[in-house]
Structure formats: C-alpha cells, structure tokens
Amino acid sequence: MNGERAARVRLFRLRSLRNKLALVFFAIIGSALAVIYFSVVTYPQSDLETERLRDLELVAGIYQSQLEELPRDPAKGQIPRTVRQVAEATDSSVTLFAWEESPVGLQSDFRDLRFLALFDSREQSLFPRNDRLLRGAIRTRRSQKGFDAFQGADVGLVAQPLFGEKPGPGQRRRVERVALYSRDFEEVEATVSFIRQRVLFATLAALVLALAGGWLVARRLGSRVRRLEVAAEEVSRGHFVDPLPVDSTDELGQLTRTFNEMQVQLRQVEVARKDFIATASHELRTPIFSLAGFVELLQDEDLDDETRREFLDTMAEQVARLQKLSVDLLDLSRLDAGSVQLQPEPVDLAELARSVAQEFTPALADHHTDLKFTLPPDGPEALCDPERVAQIVRILLDNSLRHTPPGTHITVRANRSNGAAKLTVADTGPGLPEGSRAKVFERFYTGDAARGAGLGLAIARELAERMDGRLQVSSSEGATAFTLELPGGNGA
C-alpha cells in the first residue's frame, strides 16, 4: 500500500501544473529555437558560395583588359607574371586557355573546340578545368560561372572571354583566349561550421535557460494555485483561513481577491446560519416545553373543568404559535434558497387590501379594533406578484393586532407617488421604542417574545425587495405606520 501511495504521489508530481507549465514553456521556446537554427544554419552555405562566386565574377571583370593585353606569343615571360598578379589580386587561381577549331571547321554548337592551357597560377600539373563553361564563354561572348569539384572539394568557376585586337569596321572582336578563375570554399565551409557551432551552443544554452526560467515561473504559478487549493480545502471543511495575500494584478491575483471575498461571504452566511439555528431552536423550545408542561399537568393532576379548559386554550395558543413559526421558517428557507417564484402582473392595491382585510374580520372583532380604509376607487396599480403582496398585507395587519392594545384603531390607505404605488398600514398604538426601529426588520427580533417570533416583518421586507420594492416604518408616540412601496403599473 505504501508503495502504491508513493507511486501515486510521484505520478501526481509529474502531472502537476508546475511541471506541465515548465514543459509547455520549454516546448514553445525549443520549437522557436529549432526554427531559427534550421533557417539560419541549414541553407546559408549555398547562399554564401553563390555570393562569393558573384564577387569573383565582378572582380574578374576589372582585370579583363589587363589579360587581353598579354602578348600572343606564349614564349614570352610576361604571361606567367601577369596571370600570377591577377590571381593574387582576385584571391583565386587563374588558368589561361587558348582554343582552336577542329580541322573540319567551327560547328554551331561549339562542341568541337579544343582548349590548350597556356599557364596556371598554381604552376602545377593539376588545375580545375570545365570545358562547358569555356565553350559557353566563347559562344555567348560573356562571362560564365558555375560550380565544380576539384580534388574532392567544391570550387566555384568563372570563365571570362578575352578578346583580341579591334578589327576593321563592321567586324566583331574575336575571342582569342579564355581565363578560367577558380576559388575554393574552404573559408566558407569553415565560416558556416563556426556559425553552426555557435548557433548550436547558443540554442542549447537558451534551451537550458528556458527550461530553468520556465520551471521557476511555473513553480511560482503552481505555488500560488496550490495556496488557493489548500485554502479552498480548509474552507470546504468549515475552517475559514486568513485572507490570502493578493500579490499581483493578473488573473491569479483577481482569483485570489475573489476567493477572499467569497470566504468573507461564506463566513457571514455561516454565522447567520448558526444564529438562525440557535434562535429558531430557542423559539421552538419555548412553546414545546410549555406544551409538554401542560400535557404533564393534564395527565397527572385531577383538574376541574374550568382549569382544564384554561390549560387547553393556552395549549391551543402555543400550537398556533408553533404553526405560524413553522410556516415562517419555511418561507425564510425558500427565500434564502432562491426558490420563491414571483409572477409580477398589474395589481390594484386597493382591491387587494380590501380582500385581505376581510380575512381579519373575526380577529378585529375579538380585538375590538376598528379598521378604516382610505383607498381610492381606481387603484393605485402596482406591478407585483398579488399572492406575495397579500402575504405582506397579512403580516402587517397581524403585526398591528399582536402588538397593540385592544381598541386600537388601524388604518389602511393607498396612493400614488412619483410613479410608484404605496400601501400603508398604520395604527394608533403605543409606537416603537427609539432603539427598536432600526432592528424591527431583523430576523427573530421582537419587542415582546410572547407575541411572536419576529419573523413576519423580515419576510415582508425580503418579499418587497424581491419585487423591486421596499418596506419602511415610521413611528412616534401613539402612531406606527408601515409603508409598502412597489413599482407602479400602467395606471400608476
């Protein structure tokens, strides 16, 4: 097992992002250097040889007149001296050829010409000779150049026609001799070989530097990614870590910044979740313990009918409280999960408020409360989900009944304002304490725990915001008003 685990660790390291990035950098730079190497080293020798041969042809043209002035008698000693001087000046070997026609006469293709070497600057028995170039120089009366082999080495040849004395009018000068210049390419080969070695060493050094640099860059990137990975694993286990340092402005820096922001939000959600569970457990525990106590009393005590009826009424109140709390918790969980589906449509707020208020007729009678409407006959119209707005109105009316003494007057009014539709539920109760106005919409906050769990107003405000509206409260001694503001419909 340990061997398999070690093998997996080695395989993971080989396939790590650091090694992959290093290999990618190495492959890219290696490919680029290979292209440079083959484009620079593979083809330049022929180009250099061609350039050298072209230069020889140009230099030979400078000394053409000097060779043409040589005497026609080979026995004179001026020919060797001049040929050697020209060879030295042109950095080449020069062979001077004479030619003669065959006994049957000159043919049109010049193939029957015979060439005789008068002198070679090497002063050796062996020297380059290319009859094709010599014939071409005589036939075209222009210099001819080409490549050949001499003693196992490549040489460049230039055949230059040498003209005789100027003839009479209307006649062309006759090609009497041909100078064959030859130049070897040992220097070119040495230069190319030197360049190849230098480029090869430079390429190898660049590849080593590329591999080292790519590995260092990949190691840096890999360590940053690994840091994010370790932090993400800790967060997934529920262990929040300190904010990671944002040490760059690139994509990884932006990812690190986003991760830090995500961790802050997750921590807030986790804290809210724990607080929610703790508060919900407390809210559920009170009525459950109360019910358990009454059940125990009903089972163990010999109670008269009036006491038993009193206990049952109290238990019914606690059951109703549990039912409302369970419904509110379910609504909150749906809102938090984003599963509440809204279907906005034009809604007459006045008509909707009257419809919901009818549901509270028994409760208003028990509370000895008068409900007054200040509603226009034709609206206002709002763009909203009618079921969710009705739920908000129920919460506001229930809140007014729960937290006001019997006989308190409640008013429901609606109006239009700046393109928005407003619905207000106001009462003439004692009002909200100064410190509770900012907390009244918080979950589980209530000024009187015996009268509710403090979830209704939180749900109402959340629903209002989901419909692009808002729920506000204003309170003073002897008056409290909750106002629902929603986007106006076509008639608003």
Q: List the CATH number of the domain containing 394.
A: 3.30.565.10
Residues 373 and 472 in one domain: yes
Cβ-contact 395, 457 below 8 angstroms:
yes
Per the domain annotation, does 459 fall within a domain?
yes
> Could you tell me the maximum CA-CA distance found in the chain, to the nearest angstrom?
164
Say if residue 43 is exposed, middle or buried (CB neighbours under 10 Å; 0-12, 13-18, 19+).
exposed
Per the domain annotation, does 318 fall within a domain?
yes
Residues 60 and 19 in one domain: no
Residues 80 and 165 in one domain: yes
Of the residues 305, 336, 367, the one at which a domain ends: 336
Tokens of 138: 């005589």
Average pLDDT, the chain: 79
Residues 257 and 278 in one domain: yes
Per the domain annotation, does 119 fall within a domain?
yes
DSSP assignment letter at 435: G
b/e code 208-240 from CB counts within 10 Å (16+ = b): eebbeebbeebbebbebbebeeebeeebeeeee
Residues 328 and 198 in one domain: no
Per the domain annotation, does 225 fall within a domain?
yes
**Domain count for the chain:** 4
pLDDT of residue 449: 46
pLDDT of residue 12: 42
Structure-token match 């509770």, residue found: 436
Of the residues 168, 184, 200, the one at which a domain ends: 184
Could you tell me which residues are beta bridge partners of residue 412?
Answer: 373, 425
* Helix, strand or coil, per DSSP, at residue 433: coil
Residues 378 and 316 in one domain: no
pLDDT higher than 70, residue 57 = yes
Residues 161 and 115 in one domain: yes
pLDDT of residue 103: 57
* Helix, strand or coil, per DSSP, at residue 97: strand
The beta strands (E) that lie in 353-469 are given as: 371-374, 381-384, 410-417, 420-427
The tally of CA atoms less than 13 A away on the side-chain side of residue 155 is: 21
pLDDT of residue 5: 52
Cβ-contact 121, 95 below 8 angstroms:
yes
The parent domain of residue 12 ranges over 2-42+192-234
Per the domain annotation, does 245 fall within a domain?
no
Say if residue 405 is exposed, middle or buried (CB neighbours under 10 Å; 0-12, 13-18, 19+).
exposed
pLDDT in tens, 226-240: 888 788 888 877 777
Structure-token match 């210099």, residue found: 143
Residues 71 and 164 in one domain: yes
pLDDT of residue 455: 76
| CATH number of the domain that residue 272 is part of | 1.10.287.130
Host H or E run for residue 157: strand 153-163
| Length, in residues, of the chain | 492
pLDDT higher than 90, residue 75 = no
pLDDT of residue 302: 74
| CATH number of the domain that residue 120 is part of | 3.30.450.20
Per the domain annotation, does 240 fall within a domain?
no
Structure-token match 């094709």, residue found: 132
Could you tell me which residues are beta bridge partners of residue 218?
Answer: none
Cβ-contact 378, 491 below 8 angstroms:
yes
Q: Give residue 157's pLDDT band: very low, low, confident or very high (50, 70, 90).
A: very high
Cβ-contact 233, 264 below 8 angstroms:
no
Host H or E run for residue 222: helix 186-236
Better pLDDT: 275 or 221 = 221
pLDDT in tens, 76-116: 678 888 989 999 998 899 999 988 876 555 555 566 678 88
What are the contacts of 95-98 at 24+ separation with CB within 8 A?
95/119, 95/120, 95/121, 95/127, 95/128, 95/129, 95/179, 95/180, 95/182, 96/67, 96/70, 96/120, 96/177, 96/178, 96/179, 96/180, 97/134, 97/177, 97/178, 97/179, 97/180, 98/74, 98/176, 98/177
Separation of first and last alpha carbons in the chain: 75
Question: Which ranges of 237-304 would DSSP assign to H, the alpha helix?
Answer: 251-300
Per the domain annotation, does 70 fall within a domain?
yes
Residues 347 and 269 in one domain: no
pLDDT in tens, 13-40: 555 666 666 677 777 777 777 777 676 6
Of the residues 143, 166, 184, the one at which a domain ends: 184
pLDDT of residue 450: 46
Residues 437 and 317 in one domain: no
Question: Which ranges of 338-455 would DSSP assign to H, the alpha helix?
Answer: 349-358, 361-367, 386-402
Residues 360 and 477 in one domain: yes
Residues 178 and 210 in one domain: no
Q: What percent of the chain has pLDDT over 70?
A: 83
Per the domain annotation, does 109 fall within a domain?
yes
Work out the angle at residue 156's Cα, subtended by the Cα atoms of residues 155 and 157, and round it to the nearest 5 degrees.
120
Tokens of 112: 């029957």
Q: What percent of the chain has pLDDT over 90?
A: 11
Structure-token match 């190495």, residue found: 26
